[in-house]
């Protein structure tokens, strides 16, 4: 089947969306941007293809007798076990790479012990992994590096101590290897992994599928046999210039965001996107065409990165900031959205006895005020108003935005899509689709 | 970049002439010790070149030195030197580049040391910073300073009181001061002769700038105009050399119009002219060529700019007039672009958008230059409102390389041009 | 009334960014008009003579949230024009009939034209002041500028202003300026009795009150302060320079004094001290005001220093007269005049072995710890080494 792909290379994450020729969205994928945009876009695309297969499975399984009301459960299990398969595969790659790097001359004296310790660490790692992918277990991250890394650290330290090896050596080997592995996209083989994953689901405890494995495997196989053709790819985002694409395959993130927001909410007229490095105010017409836009000026104050900085400064996770700010009962005015000064002002406020939640609320307001001025430069806020980007997930930011927009522009329908992070990639996929379908 | 560097740069006779003119002024400056000529430093906007030449003085323009240092990538170090010696990172980088240049031996582009000025002619037109800049130079050189205050057109018009004030300062401060420094007696007929030549060159300059009304435009009225402005905005207005230069230039441009050709850029002739732009604000000098190339690559040609009016709004009708030379000089100073108030500036850009049939409006907002920059966001709003065309806004600096982010500027320009392109075909329905 | 009561009233006026006091003055008589002006100086006598209230707009301070103003300015432009635009958009100045923008820098200059575009119903005038100090050149130019301003005001009020009206207004402002000078003199003599934060608030009250009322307030304060006593501290004596336009937050002034410095002279709010001597009332009033501007006005970076010798002359005089032990250059971020002027002033005072420190602030600066630290270290070093 013909597939159209949009890839959005952001400064922190890279997103991909796959669309069919009718404009229906088949799948999306995300990965961290790393320092290597090529790999990031390959991984994101592969993730989107995996998601596309899942969509196809869902369609194929719809009519299977004995699965009524259980398709979602099966798909969930299938994906989870596919991730496990994938994880195991990458883990094997990491182990091989560690062993190879352990042969470095620097480790000549401990070579054998090191290899044994690495093997032992990975044996223990594998035992742990199954638990990570058991039904209902919440994982902190789905990125291989995050999952493998934290486990390796713990286990390797214990193994090193038992074997009397310097932990440094174990760490050193890992650091070198993880970069190599991460920059090698996992093998795309789905034909092998999905059936194995299916088998795991069907034999897992706790399910009550009436259909047997064979009757389920048939539509899965049919879906896997569908050839997915990369008909046209459009790249966007800040890293787009680094993509090895011809110019006509590249669109500015402004156009893609505008169009993506239009596809998600066809009545959108104003889009606000607060990303890691920049903030954009975009005005679109009733067909999703951008009629005006402005971005933050040279100074990146008040962008998503600012929140990251504050989180670091307060020793909190990024996702904890919003909920903390929501507890605020008092207005504290934060005057500086300058990332450089934010830390100093923060400490000053704390030392004056201000509460953390009140300061947090003030910070969120400060960010939204910056966004308001960019919206104003781009032509204001029209109905409907769509908010995208990482900061759109932050409830405290959304609360302030809602309030300020209403005060300054009147009542507006505010759209926030749970998948808003894919807005740019979605717009890109649509551009790709049009490039082919409308030329035809 | 390497591919482009190998592209053979097309040089037309006017380009060579222009370069030689500017170089000859540097030679006149650096040889003043031998020739015994006295040196005056003064600023570009509202400069009194004809008057200066009446006293056989050599004209040194510190902004031009800063531009030269910027284009030759030397200004960054100079600015940092000035900051190390106590100048704030917040203030104008032309000033800091100049101060840093002094501390590095004050070497002119021809490799020879610049002379100490014999007099600072502080023609204080359209830029507050000029005043402090020359106070700083006086602090270094301890030389006589002549202040010529040019009132601002606060109400968007030149009043009788303003003209009288400037004329009086010319008569009682500037002319006697220059007589004293030069030892030359003022001769008003000599001034008239020069002003006659100024007007001739001005006629041709206007013709050149207005040639951008053609499609395709035979010139780039921002990047290219920077070169065209050179002689007349600096030390050559009023000279026969300037008259000759603009004649040659005009002939070349006429030939391009006849052949339907575009402007000559460092990357070659610009045939692709998908976007016609009006630009507000000075250019960035440290990455001038890369900056221009961003426009060239996208098929954007600038058809009118406000920066090319800092040394006079000739296209709005002003000419130096030999009939009443001092009043004319006063009106010249009062009329420069940055001495116009904000409503006048908005009106002018709106006029350019219409007369030059522009597709878009771009502001290059300069960190150093509040005279230009303060209020540009409101100007953009007004112009969008009046013309219905969206504006683009980018931020750079004059000669501080730390404030030119190529990726950032490129991202914005690309987005902007793609938006214009998309709006053009905007009637297509969406299939989704 | 005690000084505390007076200062409490000043504080209320200072914090009131709806300008209720000025609104009340205007509402008392339907024919009344209010003319706003920005730092540093405008000839307020003309506004007064036209029967109007001059209203000093000194920005938005650190309590007002700027929601719209940032949409009009890039990040590298100072704060005062943003908050002033905010005041305008938020209708806090909707009772103001005219706005004057003095020649202080390119930002405020351009703001005059922005105001014309944004508030087309308001009388707006850019006030060009002379940078040529000869009576028959700069003086005549300025006289004519003042005449044009007065014509504008007359048109707005619909009433002619006579020379006698002007002379009377000059007299009223001479009194006010004399009182301000007296308080400054007393603070310098006994700075522990008149903390600068109090003096500052007193001067700020003059931005919003009718001048007569303000003069009464100053008299009352002088009477009250004479009978109060406050403990003297072992502080060093410093002069603040560079704060003539965008004003520092009150906390900054307090922080400097808390860190061991007595401020014995400053260039905060200049308008009521700009003319340093009484303006004669027995000659043509335009000539009198012009002459006072040319020959007896305060020295700030916004003025041209005619000769190299004039650079820093008043600062050095003030150091001598006020027995100052050091200078704190405190300028707003991105303030071209103050920051370009500072290296020259610093050189001049260094020649006289006067120590200094420099920092930047914004009217809404939040963090005072670095300021306290710098000012404190400065005070300690002066005490140690002098």
Does residue B429 have a pLDDT over 70?
no
pLDDT tens, C282-321?
Answer: 999 999 999 999 999 999 999 999 999 999 999 999 999 9
Q: Residue C96 belongs to what domain range?
A: 17-152
* Best residue of A351, A373, A381, A403 to probe chain C, by most C CBs closer than 10 Å: A373
Does residue A234 have a pLDDT over 60?
yes
How sure is the predictor about A416, in pLDDT bands with cuts at 50, 70 and 90? very high
Does residue C21 have a pLDDT over 90?
yes
How sure is the predictor about A350, in pLDDT bands with cuts at 50, 70 and 90? confident
Does residue C183 have a pLDDT over 70?
yes
Q: At what angle do helices B376-387 and C106-118 cross, to 10 degrees?
A: 30
Mean pLDDT of B320-341: 97
- The set of residues, in sequence order, having a beta carbon less than 8 Å from that of C225 and lying 6+ positions away, is C3, C186, C193, C194
Query: What is residue B425's predicted lDDT score, i.e. its pLDDT?
Result: 77
Residue numbers of C between 327 and 346 with CB closer than 8 Å to B: 331, 333-337, 339-344, 346
State how far the Cα of B61 lies from the Cα of B46, in Å rounded to an integer.
Answer: 12
- The set of residues, in sequence order, having a beta carbon less than 8 Å from that of B284 and lying 6+ positions away, is B291, B364, B366, B396, B397, B398, B403, B404
* Listed residue (A280, A271, A273, A281) closest to A414, CA to CA: A271
Q: At what angle do helices A111-132 and A71-101 cross, to 10 degrees?
A: 170
Q: Note whether residue C371 is domain-resident.
A: no
Domains held by chain C: number: 1
Q: Are strands A229-236 and A25-32 parallel, antiparallel or unpaired?
A: unpaired
Question: Vertex A295, ends A292 and A298: CA angle to 5°?
Answer: 145
Does residue C324 have a pLDDT over 90?
yes
* Residue C45 belongs to domain with CATH number: 3.40.50.11890
* Listed residue (B88, A363, B131) closest to C359, CA to CA: B88
Residues in A closer than 8 angstroms to C62, CB to CB, are 333, 335
Domain spans of chain A? 1-64+222-265+422-440, 71-208, 267-416
Does residue B3 have a pLDDT over 50?
no
Q: Copy the structure tokens of residue A97.
A: 């790479």
Phi–psi pair at B362, nearest 5 degrees: -120, 135
Enumerate neighbours of B (3 or more CB pairs within 8 A).
Answer: A, C
A169: left (phi over 0), alpha (psi -120 to 50) or beta: alpha
Q: Copy the structure tokens of residue A206.
A: 């706790």
Q: Do C370 and A344 touch (CB under 8 A)?
A: yes
Sheet holding C236-241, edge to edge: C261-265, C236-241, C326-332, C356-361
Is residue A124 within 8 A of residue A162, CB to CB? The reply is: no
Given 3-state DSSP classes, what are the helix, strand and coil percentages for chain A, each rounded to the nearest 5? 60, 10, 30
Does residue A422 have a pLDDT over 70?
yes
State how far the Cα of C319 lies from the Cα of C311, in Å rounded to an integer.
Answer: 14
> Which of B152, B169, B395 is the closest to C126 by Cβ?
B152
State how far the Cα of A86 lies from the Cα of C298, in Å rounded to an integer.
Answer: 77
Does residue C17 have a pLDDT over 60?
yes
Mean pLDDT of C36-47: 97
* Listed residue (B321, B309, B288, B315) closest to B233, CA to CA: B309
CATH of A267-416, one of 2.60.120.10, 2.60.40.10, 3.40.50.300, 3.30.420.40: 3.30.420.40
Does residue C167 have a pLDDT over 60?
yes
Look up the pTM and report it.
0.90
Q: Which residue has the higher pLDDT, C369 or B300?
A: B300
Q: Copy the structure tokens of residue C160.
A: 């002619």
How sure is the predictor about A138, in pLDDT bands with cuts at 50, 70 and 90? confident
Does residue A227 have a pLDDT over 80?
yes
Residue numbers of B between 43 and 82 with CB closer than 8 Å to C: none
Does residue B4 have a pLDDT over 80?
no
pLDDT tens, C63-87?
Answer: 898 989 999 999 899 999 999 999 9
State how far the Cα of A249 lies from the Cα of A6, in Å rounded to an integer.
Answer: 10
Annotate A98-136 with DSSP letters as a single string: HHHHTTSGGGGGGHHHHHHHHHHHHHHHHHHHHHHTSTT
> Does C307 contact chain A (CB < 8 Å)?
no
Sign, Cα dihedral of A384, A389, A395, A400: negative
Query: A75 to each of A48, A70, A308, C162, how far by Cα in Å?
Result: 15, 9, 34, 91
Instruction: Name the range with the highest mean pLDDT among A189-203, A320-334, B353-367.
Output: B353-367
* Best residue of C336, C337, C356, C362 to probe chain B, by most B CBs closer than 10 Å: C336
Running DSSP on this structure, what letter comes out for residue B104? T
**Which chain A residue is nearest to residue C372, measuring alpha carbons?**
A348
Give the helix ranges, DSSP H, for C227-361. Answer: 250-258, 285-296, 313-321, 336-351
State how far the Cα of C199 lies from the Cα of C178, in Å rounded to an integer.
Answer: 14
pLDDT tens, A323-347?
Answer: 999 999 988 887 766 666 667 778 8
Please provide the average confidence, as pLDDT, over all residues in chain C.
96
Q: Which residue has the higher pLDDT, C329 or A353?
A: C329
pLDDT tens, B221-255?
Answer: 999 999 999 999 999 999 999 999 999 999 999 99
Helix (H), strand (E) at residue A328: none
Helix (H), strand (E) at residue A388: strand A385-388
Annotate C62-78 with DSSP letters as a single string: TTS--SSGGGGS-TTS-
Phi–psi pair at B303, nearest 5 degrees: -100, -20
Does residue A14 have a pLDDT over 70?
yes
Query: What is residue A133's predicted lDDT score, i.e. its pLDDT?
Result: 85
**Percent of chain A surpassing pLDDT 70:** 96
Query: What is residue B427's predicted lDDT score, i.e. its pLDDT?
Result: 39
Q: Do C362 and A373 touch (CB under 8 A)?
A: no
How sure is the predictor about A137, in pLDDT bands with cuts at 50, 70 and 90? confident
Query: What is residue A103's predicted lDDT score, i.e. its pLDDT?
Result: 87
Mean pLDDT of B343-349: 98
How sure is the predictor about A149, in pLDDT bands with cuts at 50, 70 and 90? confident
Query: What is residue C52's predicted lDDT score, i.e. its pLDDT?
Result: 98
Does residue A312 have a pLDDT over 60?
yes
Distance from CA of B363 to the nearest CA of A (A): 12
Q: Which residue has the higher pLDDT, A290 or A191?
A: A290
pLDDT tens, C140-159?
Answer: 999 999 999 999 999 999 99
Q: Copy the structure tokens of residue A183.
A: 């920059």
Mean pLDDT of A124-145: 81
Distance from CA of A272 to the nearest CA of B (A): 16
Mean pLDDT of B367-393: 96
Sign, Cα dihedral of A306, B399, B225, B317: positive
State how far the Cα of C293 lies from the Cα of C43, in Å rounded to an integer.
Answer: 9
Widest Cα–Cα separation across chain C: 63
Enumerate neighbours of C (3 or more CB pairs within 8 A).
Answer: A, B
Helix (H), strand (E) at residue C152: helix C140-157
Helix (H), strand (E) at residue B334: helix B325-335
Mean pLDDT of A113-134: 88
Residues in A closer than 8 angstroms to B429, CB to CB, are 287
Query: What is residue C309's predicted lDDT score, i.e. its pLDDT?
Result: 95
Does residue B47 have a pLDDT over 90?
yes
Q: Which residue has the higher pLDDT, B168 or A87?
A: B168
How sure is the predictor about A300, in pLDDT bands with cuts at 50, 70 and 90? low
How sure is the predictor about C106, in pLDDT bands with cuts at 50, 70 and 90? very high
Instruction: Give the dihedral of Cα atoms C249, C298, B85, B64; nearest 10 deg.
Output: 110
State how far the Cα of A3 lies from the Cα of C26, in Å rounded to an integer.
Answer: 71
Residue numbers of C between 69 and 88 with CB closer than 8 Å to B: 71-74, 76-77, 81
pLDDT tens, C208-254?
Answer: 999 999 999 999 999 999 999 899 999 999 999 999 999 999 999 99
State how far the Cα of A258 lies from the Cα of B128, in Å rounded to an integer.
Answer: 42
* Best residue of A292, A430, A438 to probe chain B, by most B CBs closer than 10 Å: A292
- The set of residues, in sequence order, having a beta carbon less than 8 Å from that of A305 and lying 6+ positions away, is A276, A277, A339
Question: Would you give the distance in Å from CA C102 to the centre of its chain?
Answer: 12
In the CATH hierarchy, which fold is given to the domain comprising A1-64+222-265+422-440?
Answer: Nucleotidyltransferase; domain 5 (3.30.420)
Mean pLDDT of B352-368: 97
Please provide the average confidence, as pLDDT, over all residues in chain B.
94
Does residue A438 have a pLDDT over 90?
no
């Amino acid at each position: 089947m013909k597939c159209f792909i949009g890839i959005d290379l952001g400064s922190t994450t890279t997103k991909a969306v796959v669309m069919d020729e009718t404009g229906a969205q088949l799948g999306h994928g995300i990965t961290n941007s790393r320092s290597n945009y090529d790999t990031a876009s390959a991984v994101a695309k592969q993730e989107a293809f995996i998601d596309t297969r899942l969509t196809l499975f869902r369609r194929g399984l719809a009519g299977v007798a004995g699965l009524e009301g259980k398709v979602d459960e099966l798909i969930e299990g299938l994906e989870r076990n596919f991730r496990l398969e994938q994880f195991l595969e990458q883990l094997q790659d990491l182990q091989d790479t560690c062993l190879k790097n352990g042969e470095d001359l620097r480790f000549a004296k401990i070579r054998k012990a090191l290899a044994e310790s690495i093997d032992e660490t990975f044996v223990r790692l594998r035992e742990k992994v199954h638990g990570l992918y058991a039904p209902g277990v919440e994982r902190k991250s789905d990125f291989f590096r995050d999952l493998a890394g934290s486990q390796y650290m713990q286990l390797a330290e214990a193994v090193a101590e038992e074997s009397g090896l310097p932990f440094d050596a174990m760490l050193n080997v890992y650091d070198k290897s993880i970069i190599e592995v991460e920059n090698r996209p996992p093998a795309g083989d789905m034909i092998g992994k999905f059936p194995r994953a299916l088998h795991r689901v069907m034999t897992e405890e706790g399910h009550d599928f009436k259909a047997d494995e064979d009757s389920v495997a048939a539509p899965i196989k049919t879906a896997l046999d569908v050839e997915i053709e990369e008909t046209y790819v459009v790249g966007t985002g800040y890293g787009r210039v680094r993509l090895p694409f011809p110019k006509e395959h590249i669109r500015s993130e402004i156009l893609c965001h505008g169009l993506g927001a239009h596809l998600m909410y066809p009545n959108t007229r104003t889009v606000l996107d607060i990303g890691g490095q920049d903030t954009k105010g975009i005005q679109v017409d009733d067909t999703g065409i951008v009629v005006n836009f402005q971005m933050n000026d040279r100074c990146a104050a008040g962008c998503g990165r600012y929140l990251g900085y504050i989180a670091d400064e307060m020793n909190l996770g990024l996702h904890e900031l919003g909920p903390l700010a929501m507890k605020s009962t008092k207005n504290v005015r934060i005057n500086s959205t300058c990332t450089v000064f934010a830390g100093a002002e923060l400490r000053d406020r704390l030392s004056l006895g201000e509460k953390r939640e009140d300061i947090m609320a003030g910070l969120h307001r400060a960010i939204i005020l910056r966004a308001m001025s960019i919206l104003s430069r781009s032509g204001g806020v029209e109905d409907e108003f769509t908010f995208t980007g990482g900061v759109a997930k932050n409830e405290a930011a959304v609360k302030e935005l809602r309030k300020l927009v209403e005060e300054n522009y009147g009542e507006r329908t505010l759209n926030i899509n749970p998948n808003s992070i894919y807005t740019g990639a979605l717009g890109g996929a649509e551009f790709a689709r049009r490039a082919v379908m409308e030329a035809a | 970049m390497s591919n482009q560097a190998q592209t053979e740069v097309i040089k037309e006779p006017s380009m060579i002439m222009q370069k030689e003119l500017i170089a000859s002024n540097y030679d006149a400056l650096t040889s003043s010790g031998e020739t015994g000529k006295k040196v005056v430093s003064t600023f570009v906007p509202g400069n009194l070149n004809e008057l200066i030449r009446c006293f056989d003085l050599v004209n040194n323009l510190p902004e031009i030195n800063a531009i030269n240092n910027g284009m030759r990538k030397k200004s960054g170090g100079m600015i940092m030197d000035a900051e190390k010696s106590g100048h704030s990172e917040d203030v104008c980088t032309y000033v800091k580049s100049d101060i840093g240049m002094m501390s590095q031996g004050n070497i002119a582009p021809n490799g020879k040391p610049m002379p100490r000025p014999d007099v600072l002619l502080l023609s204080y037109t359209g830029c507050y910073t000029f005043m402090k800049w020359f106070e700083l130079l006086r602090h270094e050189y301890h030389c006589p300073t002549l202040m010529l205050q040019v009132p601002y057109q606060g109400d968007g018009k030149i009043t009788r009181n303003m003209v009288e004030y400037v004329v009086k300062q010319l008569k009682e401060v500037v002319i006697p001061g220059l007589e004293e420094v030069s030892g030359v007696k003022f001769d008003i007929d000599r001034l008239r002769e020069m002003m006659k030549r100024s007007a001739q060159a001005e006629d041709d300059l206007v013709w050149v700038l207005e040639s951008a009304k053609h499609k395709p435009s035979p010139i780039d009225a921002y990047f290219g105009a920077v070169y065209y402005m050179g002689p007349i905005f600096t030390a050559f207005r009023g000279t026969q050399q300037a008259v000759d230069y603009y004649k040659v230039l005009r002939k070349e441009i006429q030939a391009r119009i006849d052949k339907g050709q575009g402007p000559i850029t460092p990357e070659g002739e610009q045939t692709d002219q998908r976007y016609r732009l009006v630009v507000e604000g000075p250019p960035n000098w440290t990455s001038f060529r890369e900056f221009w190339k961003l426009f060239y690559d996208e098929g954007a040609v600038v058809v009118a700019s406000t920066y090319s009016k800092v040394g006079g709004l000739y296209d709005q009708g002003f000419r130096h007039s030999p009939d009443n030379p001092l009043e004319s000089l006063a009106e010249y100073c009062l009329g420069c672009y940055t001495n116009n108030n904000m409503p006048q500036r908005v009106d002018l850009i709106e006029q350019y958008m219409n007369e030059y049939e522009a597709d878009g409006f771009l502001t290059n907002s300069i960190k150093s230059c509040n005279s230009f920059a303060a209020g540009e966001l409101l100007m953009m709003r007004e112009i969008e409102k009046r013309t219905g065309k969206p504006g683009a806004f980018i931020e750079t600096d004059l000669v501080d390389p730390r404030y030119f982010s190529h990726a950032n500027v490129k991202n914005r320009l690309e987005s902007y041009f793609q938006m214009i392109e998309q709006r053009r075909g905007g009637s297509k329905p969406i299939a989704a | 009334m005690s000084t505390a009561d007076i200062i409490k009233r000043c504080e209320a006026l200072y914090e009131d960014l709806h300008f209720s006091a000025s609104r009340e003055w205007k509402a008392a008589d339907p024919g009344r008009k209010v003319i706003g002006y920005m730092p540093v100086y405008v000839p307020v006598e003309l506004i007064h003579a036209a029967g109007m209230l001059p209203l000093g707009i000194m920005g938005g301070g650190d309590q007002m949230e700027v929601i719209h103003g940032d949409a009009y300015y890039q990040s590298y432009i100072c704060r005062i024009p943003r908050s002033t635009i905010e005041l305008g958009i938020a209708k806090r100045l909707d009772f103001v009939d005219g706005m004057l923008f003095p020649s202080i820098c390119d930002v405020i200059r351009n703001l005059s034209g922005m105001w014309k575009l944004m508030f087309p119903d308001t009388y707006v005038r850019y006030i060009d002041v002379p940078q040529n100090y000869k009576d028959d050149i700069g003086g005549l130019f300025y006289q004519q500028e003042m005449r044009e301003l007065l014509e504008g005001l007359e048109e707005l009020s619909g009433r002619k202003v006579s020379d006698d009206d002007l002379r009377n207004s000059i007299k009223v402002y001479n009194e006010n300026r004399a009182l301000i000078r007296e308080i400054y003199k007393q603070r310098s003599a006994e700075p522990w009795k008149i903390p600068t934060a109090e003096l500052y608030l007193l001067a700020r009250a003059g931005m919003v009150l009718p001048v007569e009322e303000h003069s009464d307030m100053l008299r009352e304060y002088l009477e009250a302060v004479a009978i109060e006593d406050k403990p003297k501290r072992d502080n060093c004596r410093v002069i603040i320079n560079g704060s003539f336009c965008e004003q520092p937050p009150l906390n900054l002034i307090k922080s400097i004094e808390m860190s061991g410095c007595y401020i014995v002279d400053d260039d905060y709010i200049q308008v009521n001290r700009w003319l340093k001597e009484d303006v004669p009332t027995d000659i043509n009033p335009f000539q009198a005001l012009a002459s006072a501007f040319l020959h007896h006005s305060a020295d700030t970076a916004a003025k041209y220093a005619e000769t190299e010798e004039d650079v820093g002359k008043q600062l050095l005089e003030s150091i001598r007269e006020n027995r100052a032990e050091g200078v704190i250059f405190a300028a707003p971020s991105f303030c071209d005049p103050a920051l370009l002027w500072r290296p020259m002033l610093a050189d001049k005072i260094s020649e006289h072995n006067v120590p200094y420190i420099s920092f930047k602030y914004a009217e809404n600066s939040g963090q005072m710890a670095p300021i306290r630290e710098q000012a404190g270290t400065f005070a300690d070093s002066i005490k140690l080494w002098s």
